[in-house]
């Protein structure tokens, strides 16, 4: 996958993933834009908690991902990310798109109806991290699942922007740790 395709997927995640949630909650639940996106709950403290939580958990995950168990994955993250030729700015943009689009879809949409546990397991599974045919992917899934469960609980307590911030910072730290610095 190259840089252009990754950026197109990021835009799709940002703009298309929230669409079914917006349509469903607007027409089905009678909520307006401010309620769906929890605009009234934008607060620096929960956002700060989310950023901090994502960063700390990403450092924890990156240490585990560097262990020998994960070196034999078919597509090592470092090789995959370096093959995309993305910049650090791209990494921030992609991380924001994933954090925003996926959290609207999964936390605001699915979690509202399916609950924390089912939504979290589904989230990890569709990312390919609960793979019955590759135990190493599943092992990583078991590392990331507690993060998603805690993020989901944080959504219930702190709101959407906590979850977006945590997801963004987790992805950004992992992307940055795998981007090869040309200098």
What six digits make up the tokens of 92? Answer: 């921030």
Report the chain's mean pLDDT, rounded to a whole number: 91
Q: What is the pTM of this model?
A: 0.92
The reported pLDDT for the residue numbered 26 is 96
pLDDT at 95 over 50: yes
Assess whether pLDDT exceeds 80 at residue 126: yes
Residue 146 neighbours by CB under 8 Å, 6+ apart: none
DSSP character at residue 87: -
Q: Is pLDDT of 82 > 80?
A: no
How much is the pLDDT for 116? Answer: 98
């Amino acid at each position: 996958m190259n840089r252009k395709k990754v950026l197109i997927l990021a835009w799709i995640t940002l703009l298309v993933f929230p669409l079914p949630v917006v349509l469903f909650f607007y027409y089905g639940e009678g909520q307006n834009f401010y309620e769906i996106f929890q605009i009234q709950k934008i607060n620096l403290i929960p956002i700060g908690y989310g950023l901090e939580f994502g960063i700390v958990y990403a450092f924890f995950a990156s240490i585990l991902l560097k262990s020998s168990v994960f070196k034999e994955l078919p597509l090592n993250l470092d090789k995959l990310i370096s093959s995309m030729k993305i910049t650090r700015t791209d990494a921030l943009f992609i991380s924001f798109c994933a954090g925003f689009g996926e959290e609207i879809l999964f936390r605001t949409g699915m979690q509202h109806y399916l609950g924390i546990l089912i939504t979290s397991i589904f989230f990890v599974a569709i990312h390919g991290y609960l793979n019955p045919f590759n135990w190493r992917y599943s092992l990583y899934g078991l590392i990331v699942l507690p993060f998603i469960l805690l993020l989901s609980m944080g959504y219930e307590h702190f709101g959407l922007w906590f979850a977006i911030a945590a997801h963004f910072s987790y992805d950004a730290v992992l992307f940055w740790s795998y981007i090869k610095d040309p200098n």
